């Protein structure tokens, strides 16, 4: 009993830590519309977006083009619409860019996206949630080499490849931090620094001392509405959802088949259990 109590206490502490970590982030994750994962048109559009916008820099070396037949595309459609470099339908989704060039251009080698949807999963949300939020959370930042920054992944080396579709966004960062006396290292209280990035990426900053010693250190981002894009905000969000649906599918192509198979297995076990129970009752009814 004591051991069980200790385990429950430890589990409660772990959950509390996880909740604090999830709520302490500077920008909350939006929920990815999971219904997209079972819509073939959404997955097909996501595959097109992935090839056109992502596969130039990011490889998906664990995925073959012919697996796209699982989402309703024919081999001829794959060859005509998604192969641009003379690859074969059975080839892996690799890129021609050399790692050394990628590091020189972006500061780091762009990661392989084969299982990124699983790798980005955390207590704050699923990997799909992270990708869905990240791809819609870029803003102008003139201080960055690419001219872009991201509230989900601060100082990321990736530029905003969808900026023409989404447009530009302003952003505001409220950074509450401890004010320290440099002469003796004593904490004087809290300082709130409000940094604003306009639609051109120009940063303005305002600092103020918080009175009373209330509050705690934090970083909170707020994004403005997109402006100047070719798509409406709702249409762009839908396109990103299609892309994330495909990336999620790519990280585990057999997931939906396993779910469907699991339903049938559970139904079979349910029927079998009823039949076995009735057979057992019939067999033992005359045994005393």
Which domains, and CATH codes, for the chain?
Answer: 23-137+233-275 (1.10.760.10)
Whether 163 contacts 138, CB under 8 Å:
yes
Strands 187-197 and 171-180: antiparallel
- 66: its two tokens: 């012919």
What's the pLDDT at 2? 44
pLDDT of residue 191: 87
Tell me what pLDDT residue 213 has. Answer: 57
What pLDDT score does 7 carry? 40
SS3 percent helix, strand, coil of the chain, rounded to 5, is 45, 20, 35
Low-confidence ranges of the chain (pLDDT < 50): 1-24
Separation CA 219–CA 195 (nearest Å):
11
Residue 143 CB-density burial (10 A; 0-12 exposed, 13-18 middle, 19+ buried): exposed
Q: How would you label 110-133 residue by residue, b for 16+ Cβ within 10 Å and e otherwise?
A: bebbbbbbeebeeebbbbbbbbbb
């Amino acid at each position: 009993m004591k051991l069980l109590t200790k385990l429950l206490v430890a589990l409660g502490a772990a959950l509390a830590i996880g909740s604090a970590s999830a709520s302490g982030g500077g920008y909350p994750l939006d929920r990815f519309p999971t219904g997209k994962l079972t819509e073939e048109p959404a997955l097909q559009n996501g595959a097109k977006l992935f090839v056109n916008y992502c596969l130039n820099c990011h490889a998906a070396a664990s995925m073959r083009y012919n697996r796209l037949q699982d989402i309703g595309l024919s081999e001829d459609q794959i060859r005509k619409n998604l192969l641009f470099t003379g690859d074969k339908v059975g080839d892996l989704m690799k890129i021609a860019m050399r790692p050394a060039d990628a590091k020189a251009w972006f500061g780091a080698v762009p990661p392989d996206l084969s299982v990124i949807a699983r790798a980005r999963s955390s207590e704050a949300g699923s990997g799909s949630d992270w990708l869905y939020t990240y791809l819609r959370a870029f803003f102008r930042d003139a201080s960055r080499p690419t001219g872009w920054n991201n509230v989900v992944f601060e100082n990321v080396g990736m530029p905003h490849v969808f900026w023409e579709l989404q447009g530009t966004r302003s952003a505001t960062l409220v950074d509450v931090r401890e004010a320290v006396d440099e002469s003796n290292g004593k904490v004087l209280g809290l300082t709130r620094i409000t940094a604003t990035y306009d639609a051109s990426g120009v940063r303005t900053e305002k600092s103020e001392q918080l009175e009373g010693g209330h509050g705690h250190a934090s970083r909170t981002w707020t994004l403005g509405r997109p402006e100047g894009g070719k798509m409406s905000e709702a249409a762009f969000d839908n396109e990103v959802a299609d892309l994330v649906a495909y990336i999620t599918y790519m990280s585990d192509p057999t997931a939906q088949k396993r779910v469907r198979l699991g339903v049938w297995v559970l139904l079979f076990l349910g029927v079998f259990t009823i039949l076995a129970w009735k057979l057992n009752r019939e067999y033992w009814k005359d045994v005393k």
